[in-house]
Amino acid sequence: MTGHERLSARIVGRVQGVGFRWWARVRADELGLTGWVANDPNDRTVELVAEGPPTALDAFERLLWAGPSSAQVDRVEASREPASGGFRRFEITRP
């Protein structure tokens, strides 16, 4: 876990009902990231936490701005902090 970081992000736009969570899980798996992704039913955003090497998180954050082809991402609100190491894989969860 040395050198790993945590990315916390909220994705705003047309991001629910378009396969965003599944798409994010596949991208995270491809990049070797762990964490979770969930819909926020209160404001129709998608929230996620991902942990891994900074370069993989950089790539993931860039991908989040595009999203799946059926989504329209208006903005990504992201922050970084040290990784907790508490995840074993990247999962789709419920809020």
Neighbours of 41 (CB within 10 A): 10
Give me the domain span that covers residue 13. Answer: 5-92
Q: Indicate which residue of 6, 21, 25, 27 is catalytic.
A: 21
**Which one-letter amino acid corresponds to residue 11?**
I
If one counts the domains in the chain, the total is 1
- Contact (CB, 8 A) for 17 and 68: no
The predicted model gives 72-89 an average pLDDT of 97
pLDDT of residue 2: 73
Q: Indicate which residue of 6, 25, 27, 39 is catalytic.
A: 39
Q: For this structure, is 39 an active site residue? A: yes
* CATH number, position 27: 3.30.70.100
Residue-wise pLDDT tens digits, 7-45: 999 999 999 999 999 999 999 999 999 999 999 999 999
- Of 16, 14, 15, 7, the C-alpha closest to 90 is 7
